[in-house]
Structure 1
Amino acid sequence: MRADAPSGQDRTESGPTDRPLPVADAPTGTPLRRLLPYHRRYWVPFWLGITGLLLARVFEALIPLYLRDGIDLIDGGLRDGNLAPEALALPAVAILICVLLRYLFIIASRRVIRRIGIAIAYDLRNRFYAQVQRMGPAFFARHPTGDLMARAVNDIQLIRQLIGMGLRTILVLVFSAGVGLVFMFSLAPVLTLLLLPPLPLIVWAGWRLSRQVFDQSIVVQAGFSNLSDRVQENLGGIRTVQAQVQEAREIERFAQVNQRYADNYLELARINSLIASVMPLLGALCVLVIIGYGGSRVLAGELTLGTLTAFLWYLNMVLWPVRQAGQMVTLWQQGASGTQRLFEILDAEPEVVDTAATADVLPEPRGALRIERLEYRFPGAATHALDGIEFSLRPGEFLAVMGPVGAGKTTLLRCLVRLIEPPRASLFLDDLDIHAYPLAELRARIVLVPQDPFLFADLLRANLSYDTPDRDPEQIEAAAAAAGLGETLARMPDGLDTLVGERGVTLSGGQKQRASLARGLIQTPAVLLLDDCFSSVDTETEARILTAIRALRVGQTTVLVTHRVATARQADRILMLDAGRPVELGSHSELLAAGGDYAALERLQRRRSVLGDPVDEERGT
């Protein structure tokens, strides 16, 4: 379905839409060159539309000739006292026909070209959205949500305006000026030559001011991104703002960002106003010269009144680009700056590159994991987040991963699903390097339930069956029951059809975590990664859920990150990490007997449990 066309209209008028979206070349010269591959898809309807507009200008250029004839007939008749009204019929009818044809061509052609602008914006939005889906954590750290929204909406809107209105107007203005000059020269060559001296000054002024518009447009659009990001962040954390009574401080911070944006926008408006005043002034000087010199030639009898009138009409066609220069420069330069900002995103290289399967036949999913000398360092970091990780899991084994904050637990899980890119030949699924799997296949076999649950503003049913929306209700209910959501659903009047709100705002933290867990369980993956997804769940509920998971996932591999020894003891083996390095690996009883970090942690948590103190999730103590 096409979102950008008016209701009831399709895109067949603007060109085909079933071909793959083009990929623009690397940046060279003006940013607008990057739009050529997108525009080329619609060249046929575009040039048909432009041809129609140019024909409209030809009919417009014929009007002054018939107007000249009519005025000269009237002038001659008044002088001779022999004015025949029927003689004016031909010029009048000819003018009427030219006006009607001009109107029809303009209406049809503008509609086609505007739809091309909408179609190109549609293509750019699709590619932008597809590009963002492939990006990793480092990209989103550089580009906050508000910035991306501003580029996807505001910058593409500027491009649409340039293509749908600016480009056609510039071509038409240039053509009109050329047609006007030709007719002017045919009517009065000397008068036409008088216009040449001011032209270099007009061109120089337009070029200087256009560069200022481009530079200031970049600043304004970046300011709009900052403004959008400020609003996005505030609304996302509104509960924290209100809980900490920071409304006044947030209003002040927003006011500062808003003031900077307003100041920059006013500077852009000042430059645009300067163009809008200077360029018409230069055009008015040309008109004064023609009226003065041309009027003297009419009085001397060297030029007819009708010819001077027609010449002034053509002069208006020539000066029209000058009068519109401010608007055109603004559209052009804002479109260029929007294109530059948009392609900063489209040119970004994904941190994880998806490739086709490199193995002839992918192995059957069994869930065997093998990690060999895994190391990982975040870009720009001085030390490794993971260093020397090495272990293997048999199909159906349950591994618990423990360690203090910053030990590398979440990083390990992200490497397993390639949310971040681990070194090759260090992670193996069913004896095949994970890089040999297409990303979609890898993430279907290894499913990660993240630490921070995210729910869409949709029905609970749609959230739980997010990967396959048409799942049987029985499957959804079974997964929800295994995740401990059964009683919660029973208390909800609408059950699975409950609307959970944006980010699951209508659910508690524990309910959101259990919904996220159910979404992972329902996929029955060969390997299930649970990243501390019970932190908001009480220990009694957690124990029931773990028992249900063990029963549900017989023969399937599970890796659970946790800070609780009471949770980890249910695993077949436990891996202890510290500063990215493995320090212990074994069963609960083996690690207790070893008397190492795990045994010390178990004693401390048992003592806290007796005293009634909660476990410190930051240190696992």
Structure 2
Amino acid sequence: MLKLLRMLKPYRVLVFFVLLFVFLQSLSDLYLPTLLSDIVDNGVVKGDYPYIWKIGSFMLLFALVGGICSIGASFLSAKSAGGFGRDLRSRVFAHVEKYSLHEFDKIGTASLITRTTNDITQVQQVLMMMMRVMVAAPMMCFGGIIMALYKDAHLSLIIIAIVPILAIVILTIVSRGVPLFKVMQVKIDKLNLVLRENLTGIRVIRSFNRTKHEQARFNDANLDLTNTAIKVNRIMASLMPIMMLVLNFASLFIIWFGGLRIDSGNMAVGDLMAFIQYAWQIMFALIFASMMFVMIPRASASAARINEVLNMVPDINDPADGSAKRASGRGELTFDNVSFHYPGAEMPALSNISFTAGPGEVTAIIGGTGSGKSTLINLIPRFYDVTDGSIKIGGVDVREITQENLRAGIGLVPQKAMLFTGTIAENIRFGKSDATDEEIRHAAVVAQAFDFVSEMNDGFDSPIAQGGTNVSGGQKQRLSIARALVRKPSIYLFDDSFSALDFKTDAKLRAALRRETTEATVLIVAQRVSTVMDADRIIVLDDGKVSAIGTHRELLQSSSVYHEIVTSQLSEEEIA
């Protein structure tokens, strides 16, 4: 947690004034009981009304100063803690943006959401309390003890005896609560995961009549979190009653022994009243401290989880300053004996892949499920880095190019079409932020999306719902293709991007792409033979290895794997 507090540096002036206001408020609170003692002993007892008015005015003044300081401290602590939370969220989000897919898989999307929201909120709330309590509690406690000793040293022995008892109670309860707070955050992750899966997979859940099963699954995760929360809150809730019991017994002893000292003439009535107030100030300072002990364990668990995110070094990094290169040429893509293992996997996903794809050519990749087609595509923009070998663009290894420059020259259409909330135009412009209306229209025409877009009420200004749920799968794919086309990159990567299209639209789209990408390198991953038949080069993958490379006609004669795929999809007449 101390590591995160370094991010308070931009707010050090605000923090200084918070501490100053709390200090002045504490001085005001400590001085008020002494003024009360003077009013009673020198004003009320002696019947000196002018003295009562005079000291009473001083009390009002100090109370007013204390109130103003309290308001100022509350406002500035909230402002600085809020700024800290905002900056920390931005830092976590920016750091997560640098993660490779491996880091996302390792922590999990649901956990990252919890850490960026709930965990940071926990730390922010504790920070706001700490700025108030870390000065006020020690000062009120030790200041109260000093003032109590000043009023009556003998009676102060009661307070001195009570403080260690309260400290033992606090430490005992907190030591039992800390581990449970850590477990609780993990269970919030689990609940978030189940909820996220239910919301994103609601169509599948309903179509298979699994609503009750998912409800039971959610209830189990929810009950597990609830039981842990009840257990930890029971432990922490016992703190306040125990402390109040000790404080009330302390007050009882103070009044009893104080009365005996007044009766013996060793103590004035006003001093006893002031002493009782100092005792309560000491006790409440300890209560505030105990509240911090309740909040800090949970915040510490949250801070550890946030630090885990910030300390995780991405596997994929840009080259050192000065050593970064730019790809030369117009996007010639070369795989040189490339192999790749997924982290923790025993078998390689790809082994010894070698081929060259040039500008103006269409290179198709086909193979069975699990043959490594999508993995191969993901290596080009460095979503993962190769284990062995190298991938070169224009003769330059992709690892020697910054990720920003590398991806600026790539137009990727992923296997699962992803659209964002906003308009159709905004989604296409996602590929090129400064694209003109004419460029957006042209990209939609090439992607065979213009017809259905123009039929919508607002055309390109029509809204897209979250996840693109208000358009069909084929429409999502065509809009994703338009988003890549408007970018005008040197390399196009189509990862099974035509699977939701009918054969007629598929053929028209590929013909339009041919005309549009005459100077670009095009890689198409496909399951359908009809999609890859006209490619300049077809790479057949089998079990992560290149089984054969050639044209459709060549592979029909030379590759048994390709022939098997073709015969499973086309009739003898179509093959001929």
Displacement of 1:608: 8.1
Q: Which residue number in structure 2 is paired with residue 196 of structure 1?
A: 160
1:61 aligns to 2:30 (yes or no): yes
1:147 aligns to 2:111 (yes or no): yes
Displacement of 1:610: 6.8
Q: Take 1:360 and 1:372, find their aligned partners in 2: how far apart are those partners?
A: 20
TM-score by length of 1: 0.89
Q: Is the 1:283–1:323 Cα contact (8 Å) retained in structure 2? A: no
1:350-392 CA deviation, whole Å, 9 max, x = no partner?
Answer: 1322335655752445111111110001111111100010111
Mapping for residues 28-427 of structure 1, pairs under 5 Å: 32-77=1-46, 83-356=47-320, 359=323, 362-423=326-387, 426-427=390-391
Q: Is the 1:279–1:326 Cα contact (8 Å) retained in structure 2? A: no
Q: One-letter code of the match for 2:547?
A: V
Q: Take 1:595 and 1:228, find their aligned partners in 2: how far apart are those partners?
A: 48
Displacement of 1:127: 1.0
Select which of 483, 487, 498 maps to 2:462.
498
Q: Which residue number in structure 2 is paired with residue 480 of structure 1?
A: 444
Q: One-letter code of the match for 1:240?
A: V
1:462 aligns to 2:431 (yes or no): no
CA spacing shift, 1:364–1:217, aligned 2, 3 Å: same
Q: Take 1:118 and 1:260, find their aligned partners in 2: how far apart are those partners?
A: 31
Q: Is the 2:431–2:486 Cα contact (8 Å) retained in structure 1? A: no
Select which of 512, 530, 533 maps to 2:497.
533
1:513 aligns to 2:506 (yes or no): no
CA spacing shift, 1:300–1:75, aligned 2, 3 Å: farther
Cα RMSD of the aligned pairs, angstroms, is 1.8
Q: Take 1:167 and 1:339, find their aligned partners in 2: how far apart are those partners?
A: 17
Q: Take 1:222 and 1:301, find their aligned partners in 2: how far apart are those partners?
A: 62
Q: Take 2:325 and 2:353, find their aligned partners in 1: how far apart are those partners?
A: 28
Q: Take 2:357 and 2:86, find their aligned partners in 1: how far apart are those partners?
A: 47
Q: One-letter code of the match for 1:301?
A: G
Q: Is the 1:49–1:113 Cα contact (8 Å) retained in structure 2? A: yes
Q: Is the 2:418–2:476 Cα contact (8 Å) retained in structure 1? A: yes
TM-score by length of 2: 0.96
Q: One-letter code of the match for 1:212?
A: R
> Where does structure 1 lack aligned partners over 5 or more consecutive residues?
1-31, 78-82, 612-621
Q: Is the 1:114–1:165 Cα contact (8 Å) retained in structure 2? A: no
Q: Is the 1:279–1:325 Cα contact (8 Å) retained in structure 2? A: no
Q: Take 2:387 and 2:185, find their aligned partners in 1: how far apart are those partners?
A: 38
Q: Which residue number in structure 1 is paired with residue 402 of structure 2?
A: 438
Displacement of 1:593: 3.2
Displacement of 1:325: 4.5
1:590 aligns to 2:554 (yes or no): yes
**SS of match in other structure, 2:464:** coil
Q: Which residue number in structure 2 is paired with residue 22 of structure 1?
A: none
Identity over aligned pairs, percent: 27
CA spacing shift, 1:425–1:383, aligned 2, 3 Å: closer
Q: One-letter code of the match for 2:538?
A: I
Displacement of 1:39: 2.3
**SS of match in other structure, 1:291:** helix
Q: Take 1:140 and 1:186, find their aligned partners in 2: how far apart are those partners?
A: 61
Higher alpha-carbon deviation: 362-371 or 582-591? 362-371
Q: Take 1:114 and 1:545, find their aligned partners in 2: how far apart are those partners?
A: 56
Q: Take 2:127 and 2:535, find their aligned partners in 1: how far apart are those partners?
A: 61
Q: Is the 1:276–1:324 Cα contact (8 Å) retained in structure 2? A: no
Q: Is the 1:562–1:568 Cα contact (8 Å) retained in structure 2? A: yes
CA spacing shift, 1:356–1:522, aligned 2, 3 Å: farther
1:431-478 CA deviation, whole Å, 9 max, x = no partner?
Answer: 011111100110111232110011011111111111333320110111
1:128-159 CA deviation, whole Å, 9 max, x = no partner?
Answer: 11122122323333333332222211111111
- Structure 1 segments (4+ residues) deviating >6 Å: 608-611
Q: Take 1:348 and 1:194, find their aligned partners in 2: how far apart are those partners?
A: 52
CA spacing shift, 1:609–1:111, aligned 2, 3 Å: farther
Q: Take 1:470 and 1:506, find their aligned partners in 2: how far apart are those partners?
A: 26
Q: One-letter code of the match for 2:248?
A: A
